[in-house]
């Protein structure tokens, strides 16, 4: 069994080097985790893992292809490091974009986002009995992202839905959402997509 006084360990997979991943790492550090950040999804951690966060950079329009394949390969490689159910289990959180609901000017990003959701749900099904949960944070592009304020897509009447909240989403908001899903008190939540979008998905005719 895990020593209750030993620090929890988290690995943040950040191949694109994003502000959001840095915010998540900082939030977990403040929560008492020992955090490792890896820019290579094939990196090996320094010990058993309580948490894995995969942030491929879709919110920053970073070049990202085959992100679902990379997620699956990383989880397969890191599987031996995940704590078993009898040792408290582990948490996996995937950060993606609400574009997975569909958006005309970013079809490639939408496809990557949708694939990540499908991969994460499949991992939740595969790992449920092992004590590992897998969830997704789907967010609006945070402040500072080049995707913000892109305007109406060409040849459409559509405007990107804005948040209902009076302030824009930040990387710290996304970090707090990820921390919620990584917390032990969320241990009965798995296979879910939590939208950190200030209610924007409620306004989208493309949402489900």
Summarised one tens digit per residue, pLDDT across range 98-132 is 888 877 778 888 899 999 999 999 999 999 999 99
* Chain centroid to CA 62: 15
Domain count, the chain: 1
Residue 54: domain span: 9-203
Please report the pLDDT score of residue 141 as a whole number.
Answer: 87
* Residue range 41-53: mean pLDDT, rounded: 89
Residue 2 lies in a domain: no
- The percent of residues in the chain predicted with pLDDT above 90, rounded, is 62
| Nearest CA-CA partner of 18 in 43, 55, 45 | 55
Cβ neighbour number for residue 113 with a 10 Å cutoff: 28
Residue 208 lies in a domain: no
Domain containing residue 42: CATH number: 3.40.50.720
């Amino acid at each position: 069994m895990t020593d209750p006084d030993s620090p929890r360990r988290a690995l943040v997979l950040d191949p694109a080097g994003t502000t959001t991943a840095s915010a998540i790492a900082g939030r977990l550090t403040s929560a008492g985790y020992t955090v490792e950040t890896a820019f290579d999804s094939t990196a090996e951690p320094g010990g058993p893992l309580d948490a894995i966060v995969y942030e491929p950079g879709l919110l920053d329009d970073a070049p990202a292809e085959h992100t679902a394949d990379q997620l699956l390969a990383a989880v397969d490689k890191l599987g031996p490091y995940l704590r078993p159910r009898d040792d408290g289990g582990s948490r996996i959180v995937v950060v993606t974009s609400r574009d997975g609901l569909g958006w005309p000017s970013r079809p490639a990003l939408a496809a990557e986002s949708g694939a990540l959701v499908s991969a994460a749900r499949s991992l939740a099904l595969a790992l449920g009995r092992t004590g590992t949960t897998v969830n997704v944070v789907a967010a609006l592009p945070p402040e500072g992202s080049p995707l913000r304020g892109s305007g109406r897509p060409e040849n459409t009447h559509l405007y990107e839905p804005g948040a209902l909240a009076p302030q824009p989403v930040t990387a710290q908001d996304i970090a707090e959402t990820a921390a919620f899903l990584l917390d032990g008190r969320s241990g009965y939540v798995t296979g879910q997509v939590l939208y950190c979008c200030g209610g924007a998905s409620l306004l989208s005719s493309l949402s489900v």
